[in-house]
Chains A and B, each alone.
Chain A
């Protein structure tokens, strides 16, 4: 009812805006992880995904659906590590709680260790590297990793370490108690990971995502610039000795005979680990250049795939490609979530791989075989000279995808207020639903690089296998620009205005446009973002709701429209979902059973991460890193904020 009123009021606002002259002028360690999986501890949150299995689940029960309305801000700090413009920060860190300390990494590559109940700073470590021209993707961080020796040596430093990566390819390891560099780790606490990337080097390795941890091995991927160059650093994942920083193994994603034709297909998202089998699960991305594959037609089975490797050796155990010959930049972008599915009287060790396509690949994590059938369906051919799109793509009908197969229809409202701009634009574009190849006239990419599901992935309650995930509904326009025209229009600059990237060295430049009308309104029908719950024992979707609110120039759009989201939910045993992620700079608590919002609170910017949930001295806290992301809104922040029930 409220939504209808709001929609009606929106129309009234449009009319009033035209009439009213006053209104018109003015936009853990494996050990800890095992404990969590067994439900034996609600104390720690020691990895990016809550635990190494990326479950994002807390056994804490103090905050419940009944009392969550009383949740108040317990403390809030500002790290000072925020900047805009060319040095714009992107902070998607999950704070860790372990060793009686909250640790968080910042986009200026500093580690803050703070008291869990007050937010008072214990120590700060500055890795450096944030000064000068921004490297790789700019000032960006998703936080830190934590490791503890299984058999610590008494009186010795660095038996517990915190790691932070930089965008110039350095991994720093510091003592978790003091924040001092660990002299035995690399070169006086610094491992130059970038030095391990020697082929076709176009950029320094961006260590945005903290490594996964298995026993004494760190498993580390990196981020690159796969939309800018044709041939560039080939994707690699490194196994690193957690104590010494020595390279233990390297996994090469690109076949050696293709390394001079392409690059990347790297792992830039989180990695999950099964502490029982020692398997690490790698979500790999698309090869370069992202949007034209005419120079890389040979099959590369590890690209845009989930690959299981032995965490201590890097040896491949199985792999499953999720998109063949990816020319849409639909990277596998989140750590698979591990769970044990109870199906037909059997327990299946499984993983859920959420994707930008809105599919959930539910696989046996020991073999890679699907739990529910995966189909190969035919998709449209490319009409671009030199390009050969894959004839078929994997399609996952069950669990129900988070997005429909067809592109959302044009919004009548957005079309009306732009005098038909949206429908005219759409009529000029190639639009054949999923996997419409990029074209010279322009194609609606559905889904596009924003997803579907973004890099946070989903959360699961491993006791019930209730799975929750947020998803975007965002078509974008993909246009290939023949090289001669691209050079004429944009010069030799590898990146240009209007979403242009050169794909340097290939036959086509590329333009990525948002499908917005002249007023900046989305040209497609809402919702723009949704939240879903599934029973992963049966694969059945339990509920689906628009999530978040779009906020433009301060005005909140109707809740039924939802919001584009970046970040992820967490689940607590008491039946709550905590999530930020939306454009409206709010964090929310949601009833796991119904999807109803039970509590919300305004923070300084969109909390584009996943929160941490922990219990300290008998009190449960929910902590958000509030960084913002230029993709959502220009509003950025450096706030770390904790919520708890009043004493």
Chain B
């Protein structure tokens, strides 16, 4: 069953994932980064593409099922955690900063959703 979910924060995650992809492309082809041609950068780029797709769904499909909402929320969080850890071991502060941006978007989305759920519940209680 579909129900409206917040799209707040989703566009921030989209932006963060695009920034991450751009950073990865630069790192992969630039010797001075120390990450030229490295598999770790491809890994983060792949994760960023998945994050982009997930956050895009979140942004453009406000009416989605609870299951899909849960999947997107958990997946994006795992992606952020994994990419942050990878960024730490790649010694790439910019990747970690992009993940921090994504985390802000994720928090905004989760909090907004919780707030909206709370308002809906209050409304139902008022009707009683």
B44 to chain A, nearest CB (A): 9
Number of A residues near B (Cβ < 8 Å) is 29
Which one of A287-295, A533-541, A551-559 contacts B?
A: A551-559
B3-11, B32-40, B115-123 - the one binding chain A: B32-40
Residue in A closest to B50 when the chains form the complex, CB atoms:
A22
A13-21, A208-216, A245-253 - the one binding chain B: A13-21
Q: Per-position contact with A for B15-50: 1 when CB-CB < 8 Å, else 0?
A: 000000000000000011111111111110011001
Residues from chain A with a CB closer than 8 A to the CB of B37 are 635
Closest to B81 in A: A16
Are B79 and A22 in touch, CB under 8 angstroms?
yes
Q: Given the complex of chains A and B, what is the CA–CA distance between A223 and B55 in angstroms? A: 59
Within 8 A of B (CB), among A1-42: 6, 9-10, 12-13, 16-17, 19-23, 25-27
The answer to the question of A585 belonging to the interface, with a C-beta cut-off of 8 Å to chain B, is yes
If A26-B42, A604-B31 touch, whether A13 touches B78 (CB-CB below 8 Å) is no
Listed A/B pairs (14) with beta-carbon separation below 8 Å = A12-B85, A16-B81, A26-B39, A26-B42, A26-B46, A27-B39, A551-B34, A553-B38, A554-B40, A556-B89, A586-B34, A602-B32, A602-B33, A604-B31
Number of interface residues of B (CB under 8 A): 29
- The answer to whether B38 and A554 have CB atoms under 8 Å apart is yes
Please name the residue on chain B nearest to A26 by beta carbon: B43
Chain B 70-128 interface residues, beta-carbon cutoff 8 Å to A: 75, 78-79, 81-83, 85-86, 88-91
- Residues of A contacting B32 in the complex (Cβ-Cβ under 8 angstroms): 602
The 8 Å CB contact of A584, one of B34, B78, B79, is B34
1/0 contact string of A592-612 vs chain B (CB within 8 Å): 000000000011100000000
* Bound Cα distance A20, B90 (Å): 18
Closest to A16 in B: B82
Q: If A586-B34, A602-B34 touch, does A23 touch B86 (CB 8 Å cutoff)?
A: yes
CB distance from B35 to the nearest CB of A (A): 5
Q: Are B31 and A9 in contact (CB under 8 A)?
A: no
Pick the most buried of B42, B51, B75, B82: most chain A CB atoms within 10 A of its CB.
Answer: B82
Q: Which residues of B contact A635 (CB under 8 A)?
A: 36-37
Bound form: Cα–Cα A235–B47 in Å:
56
Checking A26, A27, A555, A586 against B89 with a beta-carbon cut-off of 8 angstroms, the contacting residue is A555
Are B40 and A555 touching (Cβ within 8 A)? yes
Contacts of B78 in A (CB 8 A): 16, 19-22
B81 touches A585 (CB 8 A): no
Given A23-B82, A635-B37, also A13-B43 (CB < 8 A) = no
* A602 contact set on B, CB distance < 8 A: 31-34
Bound complex: CA of A635 vs CA of B43, how far in Å? 19
Whole-angstrom distance between the alpha carbons of A9 and B39 in the complex? 19
Residues of chain A within 8 A (CB-CB) of B79 are 20, 22
| Nearest CB of B to A453, in Å | 26
Contacts of A557 in B (CB 8 A): 89
B interface, CB within 8 angstroms of A:
31-43, 46-47, 50-51, 75, 78-79, 81-83, 85-86, 88-91
Sorted nearest first, the 3 A-B pairs with minimum C-beta distance are: A554-B38, A554-B40, A553-B39
Which of A16, A23, A25 has the most C-beta atoms of chain B within 10 angstroms of its own C-beta? A23
- What is the bound-complex CA distance between A603 and B36, given in angstroms? 11
Question: Which of A6, A16, A20, A22: most chain B Cβ within 10 A?
Answer: A22
Beta-carbon nearest neighbor of B30 in chain A: A602
Which positions in A face B, CB cutoff 8 Å? 6, 9-10, 12-13, 16-17, 19-23, 25-27, 551, 553-557, 584-586, 602-604, 635, 637
Q: Which residue of B lies closest to A13 (CB)?
A: B85
A19-B36 Cα distance, complex, nearest whole Å: 27
B35, B38, B85: most-surrounded residue (chain A CB, <10 A): B85
Q: Which of B46, B83, B89 contacts A9 (CB 8 A)?
A: B89
Identity of the chain A residue whose Cβ is nearest the Cβ of B40 in the assembled complex: A554
Interchain CB contact under 8 A, B89 and A22: no
Nearest CB on B from A358, distance (A): 29
> Residue among A6, A25, A602 with the most chain B CB within 10 A?
A602
Closest to A14 in B: B85
Task: Tell me how far the C-beta of A179 lies from the nearest C-beta in chain B, rounded to whole angstroms.
Answer: 28
CB distance from A388 to the nearest CB of B (A): 47
Chain B residues lying within 8 Å of A25, measured Cβ to Cβ, are 43, 46
In the complex, chain A residues whose CB is within 8 Å of the CB of B82: 16-17, 20, 22-23
Shortest C-beta distance, A76 to chain B (Å), equals: 10
In the complex, A26 Cα to B91 Cα: how many Å? Answer: 18
Candidate in A17, A553, A556 with the most chain B CB atoms within 10 angstroms? A553
Residues of chain A contacted by B47 (CB below 8 angstroms): 22-23
- Cα of A23 to Cα of B78 in the assembled complex, Å: 9
A504 to chain B, nearest CB (A): 37
Complex Cα spacing A404 to B47, Å? 43
Residues of A within 8 A of B86 (CB): 13, 23, 555
B-side contacts of A604, CB under 8 Å? 31, 36
Residue of A nearest to B28 (CB): A554
Cα distance, A635 to B35, chains bound together (Å): 11
Given A23-B83, A556-B91, 16 additional A-B pairs, CB 8 A: A9-B88, A10-B89, A12-B85, A16-B81, A17-B82, A22-B75, A22-B79, A22-B83, A26-B39, A551-B34, A553-B40, A556-B89, A556-B90, A584-B34, A602-B32, A602-B34
Look across to chain B and name the residue whose beta carbon is closest to the beta carbon of A639.
Answer: B31
In the complex, what distance in Å separates the CA atom of A585 from the CA atom of B89? 15
- Contact of A554 (CB < 8 Å), options: B39, B50, B75, B85: B39
CB contacts (< 8 Å) of B83 on chain A: these are: 22-23
A584 CA to B51 CA in the complex, in Å? 29
Chain A residues with CB under 8 Å of B33's CB are 602
Q: Contacts A602-B32, A602-B34; is A555 near B81 (CB within 8 Å)?
A: no
**Chain B residues, CB < 8 A from A6:** 88-89
Distance to closest chain A CB from B37 (angstroms): 7
